[in-house]
Amino acid sequence: MVCSRMLAVLLAASFLCGKAKAQEIQLKAVAGLHYDKVRFRVSPGTQIKLTLSNTDDMDHNLVITRPGARMKVVKAAEALGAKGPGISFIPTSQDVLWHIPTVRPGETLSVTFTAPRQPGVYPYVCTYPAHGATMYGAMYVTDKPLPALKDDPNIPRGEGGDMHSMHAAVDMPEHPYPMTPPYLYRTFMPDAGPAAIAVHLPHDLSYCWDAGSCSLRYVWSGGFLEHEALWKGKGDAVAGVAGDIFFRAGSSFQFRIGDKDSIPGISFKGYRLVSRYPEFHYRLNNLEIYELITLLKDGSGLRCSFRITGATDTLWLPLPHTGTATVSCSAGQEKNGLLRLLPAEAARFTLTIKKEGHKP
């Protein structure tokens, strides 16, 4: 109530002043060749200050055209050839009503103008070569309500109008093969180094193995990955874990050789697919380690089968972890969360990670 009264007073005041302050519209040029808003509304004949901030990593401009003239102006801009750069790719044309010239990344420029008295849909578009096909929107000059976004023919196709749905079309990668577990992605994962490997197994189990530290990072059950953020646009994101993590290795979960307090030199050698399960191969100092992670038969957890060649010293593995899983080892001795393997024991052993309270 108070608000609406204040608004009325403000409106009256501006009306009495005779010259209303310009209505301010803020647009951003964003990654993936888009403006952050695909449309806005102004009243016929009002004073407008339109500001474009470039948050992308390449140059953009903004041209407002006569109704229906967007593609004509885009084509005229593309035909500028060698003349384009000197004039911000803005062609001389009666169809160009107002424009903001080149805005470099991180910069902001504005244009002030009086909105047409003639109601209509006035397109705005970036006329940089190849940008005009997706980088546009609609300035509605009207006092009437706008059509529903989904029915609006004047905004880029497939756009829901706000940035959250802009790239919704690519929420999952497409593949020319059936997605039958086990399969893997090398991708950016949370709580791992940038050389992560995400593996999806039958029984809705998945794990993240880090090819940087050459160690298991965490295991989860439920869905596999949330890709949307990663596969849209340029990939400035990490995949999401689409389930519940029941085992998360402690930060010290890496083999040590001889000296239990120092991390040996690590070198990732790749992996072999064994019935489509990856068997990781890495080198720690002079030790060759092969680690094959498979399912426990009832789907209650994972079995990490190790083969190690060249061991002459005691091998140590700190087992602290969080989550509800229980961890056991087929060989060696565990004391205060530290697993000790004698060279002969290290040649072949398994680590079992079992989901607590699993009901097959």
Partner 1 sequence: MKPLFICIALIAGMLLTCCKPATQQGPSYRVESIALPPGLGGQVGGLDFLPDGRLAACFSSGEVMFYDPRKKTWQLFATGLHDPLGILAEDSSSILVMQRPELTRLKDSDGDGQADLYETVTDDFGISGNYHEFAYGPVKDSKGNLFIALNSSSPNGGVMKTVRGPLNSLTMDHPKQMFSPVPYRGWIMEYTPGGKLLPYASGFRSPNGIGFDPEGNLFATDNQGDWVPTSALYQIQKGKFYGHPASLAWEKGWDKGNPLKLSPAYLDSLRARPAVLFPHGIMANSPTQPLADNTGGKFGPFSGQLFVGEMNQARILRVMPEQIDGQWQGACIPFFDGHGLHKGNNRLAFAPDGSLWVGQNNHGWAGDTGIQRIVFTGTAPMNILRMHLVPKGFVLSFTRPLDRAAADSAAHYQMRHYRYHYSSKYGSAQFDVDTIPVTGIRLSRDRKKVMLTLDSIIPDMVYELTLTGIRSESGIPLSDSLICYTVNRTNPEKNDPDNF
Q: Is 222 in the site for partner 1 (CB under 8 A)?
A: no
For residue 193, the minimal CB distance to partner 1 (Å) is 4
Q: Which lies closer to partner 1 via its Cβ, residue 277 or residue 349?
A: 277
**Strand order through the sheet with 196-201:** 183-187, 196-201, 205-210, 215-226, 240-249, 321-322
Q: b/e per residue, 288-307, with b = 16+ CB within 10 A?
A: ebbbbbbbbeebbbbbbbbe
Size of the site for partner 1 (CB under 8 A): 57
CB 339 within 8 A of CB 317: yes
User: Which region, judged by CB under 8 A, interacts with partner 1, from 16-24, 84-92, 332-340, 345-353?
Assistant: 84-92
Residues 6+ apart with CB under 8 A from 182: 199, 200, 201, 202, 276, 277
What is the Cα–Cα distance from 99 to 88, expressed in whole angstroms? 10
CB 207 within 8 A of CB 196: no
Q: Is 79 in the site for partner 1 (CB under 8 A)?
A: no
Residues 6+ apart with CB under 8 A from 280: 209, 211, 214, 268, 270, 271, 289, 290, 291, 292, 293
CB 140 within 8 A of CB 39: yes
Among 1, 16, 21, 81, binds partner 1 (CB under 8 A): 81
Q: Is 258 in the site for partner 1 (CB under 8 A)?
A: no
Residues 6+ apart with CB under 8 A from 335: none
Angle at 25 between CA 121 and CA 131, to 5 degrees: 65
Among 185, 319, 338, 347, binds partner 1 (CB under 8 A): 185
What residues numbered 325-344 form the site for partner 1, per CB under 8 A? none
CB 109 within 8 A of CB 52: yes
Q: Is 140 in the site for partner 1 (CB under 8 A)?
A: no
For residue 190, the minimal CB distance to partner 1 (Å) is 9
Q: Is 32 in the site for partner 1 (CB under 8 A)?
A: yes
For residue 129, the minimal CB distance to partner 1 (Å) is 6
Q: Which lies closer to partner 1 via its Cβ, residue 12 or residue 79?
A: 79
For residue 252, the minimal CB distance to partner 1 (Å) is 14
Among 4, 92, 150, 174, binds partner 1 (CB under 8 A): 174
Q: Is 176 in the site for partner 1 (CB under 8 A)?
A: yes
Q: Which lies closer to partner 1 via its Cβ, residue 129 or residue 310?
A: 129
Q: Is 271 in the site for partner 1 (CB under 8 A)?
A: yes
For residue 146, the minimal CB distance to partner 1 (Å) is 28
Among 10, 104, 320, 328, binds partner 1 (CB under 8 A): 104
Q: Is 212 in the site for partner 1 (CB under 8 A)?
A: yes
Q: Is 177 in the site for partner 1 (CB under 8 A)?
A: yes
Site string (116-135) toward partner 1, x via CB under 8 A: ------------xxxx-xx-
Q: Which lies closer to partner 1 via its Cβ, residue 68 or residue 212?
A: 212
Q: Is 233 in the site for partner 1 (CB under 8 A)?
A: yes
Among 27, 33, 208, 327, binds partner 1 (CB under 8 A): 33
Q: Is 18 in the site for partner 1 (CB under 8 A)?
A: no
Binding site for partner 1 (CB under 8 A): 31-33, 55-59, 80-82, 84-86, 89, 104-106, 128-131, 133-134, 173-177, 183-188, 192-195, 197, 211-213, 232-238, 268-273, 278
